Amino acid sequence: MKRMAILCIDDENIILTSLELQLKKHFGEQFIYEFAESAEEGMEIIEEFTQNGIEIVLIVSDWLMPGTKGDEFLINVHQEHPEVVKVMLTGQADPEAVERARVQANLHCCLCKPWTEEELKEAILTGVDRINGK
């Protein structure tokens, strides 16, 4: 059985820490959790996991980051890994960027900062159900 992972990308460390605490609280050891501070670092993690037989099932990505924006990152990921569920997390996403991600990256949902634990939990649960065909 493949090991499954959730990848979170945000340029703010405090956001990554919050995501880690909430994910581990609600999902425990069900997933491997990995965190990146940029889209470029996220792509490196995806490549490493792919090489090691670890399946990334879901990505939570910030929109406004230095370098590659979240919508561009998710579109790039979708081209190589269309099966991965994609969630955008943002405090200031441009509605056109969210729509572009919906259309070109099959965006599962967009959570606004500050999100609630319940919103994050629901996004992960419905995203995983999508993978499992429920």
The CATH number given to whatever domain includes residue 57 is: 3.40.50.2300
Determine the pLDDT at residue 64: 94
Q: Which domain holds residue 50?
A: 3-131
pLDDT in tens, 32-73: 999 999 999 999 999 999 999 999 999 999 999 999 999 999
Domain count, the chain: 1
Question: Over the stretch 65-98, which tens digit does the pLDDT of each residue have?
Answer: 999 999 999 999 999 999 999 999 998 878 999 9
pLDDT category, 1, cuts 50, 70, 90?
Answer: low
- What pTM, to 2 d.p., does this model score? 0.96
Three-state secondary-structure class, residue 83: coil
The residue among 85, 88, 49 whose CA lies nearest residue 71 is: 88
First to last CA, the chain: 19
Check residue 48 and give its pLDDT.
97
Residue 132 in this model has a pLDDT that exceeds 90:
no
Q: How many CB atoms lie under 10 A from the CB of residue 101?
A: 27
- pLDDT at position 114: 94
